[in-house]
Amino acid sequence: MRQKKISAEGRSFGNAFRGMGTLLKSQPHARFHLLATVAVIALGVFCRISRGEWLAIVLAVGLVWLAEGLNTALELLANALALGHHPLIKKAKDVAAAAVLLSALAALAIGLIVFLPRIF
């Protein structure tokens, strides 16, 4: 019985990693977010930011990745459901894209608040 549970958990992680691969392979913005994530982590280490600042950075980065992942999932589902143009699906995709943009702008603001005083 225990082996089945471990196996199911292993499959769940495998599915998640496949999803990350799909996200990075199919979405140019996700690759940009990956580059930005690595840069921000490196800058945080270099600047020796505080624990509280790390919490803000991790939360901001996580929210951007969450929004990007949900946006991609919605787009894939919408494309599977409607082979042609549908105005409501376009609106849903636009709203999901706006969520990614808003989360990225919030993350940028947090990054500026944390790093600008150290740079200047």
| CATH number of the structural domain spanning residue 71 | 1.10.287.3610
User: What residues are labeled active site?
Assistant: 68
Q: Of 29, 63, 32, 58, whose CA–CA distance to 45 is shortest?
A: 58
CB 71 within 8 A of CB 97: yes
pTM above 0.85, yes or no: yes
Residue 35: which domain range?
Answer: 28-119
- pLDDT tens per residue, the chain (120 residues)? 555 666 777 788 899 999 999 999 999 999 999 999 999 999 999 999 999 999 999 999 999 999 999 999 999 999 998 878 899 999 999 999 999 999 999 999 999 999 999 988
Q: Which two tokens stand for residue 68?
A: 């990007």
Count: domains in the chain: 1
Please, what is the angle between helix 2-26 and helix 51-81, to 10°? 80
Would 112 be classed as within a structural domain? yes
Tokens 């549908």 belong to residue: 86
